[in-house]
Structure 1
C-alpha cells in the first residue's frame, strides 16, 4: 500500500491538477483545481475515492478557476494558498472572463497556509513551504515519506516559473528554490504545474536558471 498520484491536465493551459490518494484509506485530495471539474469528479469516482480537500499552490486562474464549481457539487475544505495571493483570488471573475475561461466567482479558501504548516492525505503528511516569486503567496507541498513535491509554477523540468506577472519577483524565486527546494533529497519527484515531472537532483545539475 502506498501513496498514489494521477496527474490530470486541465484547462486550455494544460495545468497539472494532481489527484493524490492513500491506497489503504481511499482518502484523496485534489491540488490546483483549475477547471474541467466534471472530469475530475469522474476520476475520483472511477478510483472509488473519498475527496477530503482541495489544496492550492497559488491563485492563478488555471490553478484555482474550478474551485467554486467543484464546491458547488461536493462540499470540501480548500487549503491554500498563502494569504499574499488574496488579490489573485479576488480578481478571478475578471481574469477568467478575459482569458475566455468559464467565469469563476472570487472566493476565500477555508484555510490560508503558511511556511511549516502540515496537511494530510490518509496516513501521509505533507509539509507546506512558502515559495514566493512566481506569485507572492505561492506554496508547495512536500511529502518526505513518499519522496514527492507538488511544486505548482515554481520549478519545472529544466526551467522555473515566470516572474513577470503582478507582484512576481525573480530574485525571491531563485532564493526560495535554492534555500528550500534544492536542499530536499535528490531523488524527490517533482510534479510541476505544467509539463513533465522531474527530480530535484536533475534540476540541481541541469536547470540553467539554478547554476
Structure 2
C-alpha cells in the first residue's frame, strides 16, 4: 500500500491519500477540510478514489467527507456507530472549533471491530479503539505494516479524553491491548503531527510506554 499525508485545516489534520500500488484504487482517510486541496492532491497522484474512510466523528477529521463523496461518487465508510452523536453535532463542533458550517456526514457503512476493508488488492483491518471518542477506529495494513490511527496515538503522546464520552482508561487499554500486539515494526500515521512506530512509542511515550505497566 502506498500513502501520502496531506495536512488540512487550521488544525493541520493529517488526511491520508492511500492506494493499492497494483491497481491505483485509492481512498481518503479523514478528509477534515480543504476539499479543493485534496482534489488537487488526488489529481496529481493519478489515483482513482473509490471510498472515503473515517476514523472518528470530530469535525477536523470529517469536514470535507460529504463534499468529496459527492465529487467522486463514492461511499463514506466509518467510523463505528458509537460516534453517531458526534456526527449529529457537526454544527456545534464547527462553532466550537472555528470551522465554517459543513454538510451533514452520513456514513454509508459503519465499521465494527474485526471488519476488513478492501482497496484494490490491499486490505485494511479495522480495530475499534475507544477512548478519544467512543466510536474511534484504527485502520491497519498488516502486509505493508502501516496503521492509520486517527487521534488515538501520537508521537510522544495520546489522544485527549476530556471530550464527551471520552475515557482515558479505555484509550490506554485500546493502545496497549489492541495496537501493541500488532508488532513493534508497525509505523503509524497519527491524526496530527509526525509519524512514528509502535516500537518507539513503547520505549518512550510517557503515557503508554512499557515501563508504565511493569
Which TM-score applies when normalising by structure 1?
A: 0.96
2:170 and 2:195 mapped to 1: Cα distance? 23
Q: CA deviation at 1:70?
A: 1.4
Alignment of 1:31-180 (within 5 A): 31-180=29-178
2:105 and 2:141 mapped to 1: Cα distance? 27
Greater mean alpha carbon deviation, residues 88-97 or residues 25-34 = 88-97
Alignment of 1:5-20 (within 5 A): 5-20=3-18
Which TM-score applies when normalising by structure 2?
A: 0.95
1:23 counterpart (5, 21, 24): 21
Q: CA deviation at 1:61?
A: 0.4
2:72 and 2:165 mapped to 1: Cα distance? 33
2:130 and 2:177 mapped to 1: Cα distance? 12
| Number of aligned residue pairs | 209
Q: CA deviation at 1:9?
A: 0.3
Q: CA deviation at 1:113?
A: 0.2
1:127 and 1:15 mapped to 2: Cα distance? 22
1:141 and 1:159 mapped to 2: Cα distance? 19
1:125 and 1:24 mapped to 2: Cα distance? 13
CA contact (8 A) 1:91 1:106 kept: no
1:154 and 1:98 mapped to 2: Cα distance? 21
Dislocated runs of 4+, deviation >3 Å:
none
Alignment of 1:184-195 (within 5 A): 184-195=182-193
Unaligned runs of 5+ in 2: none
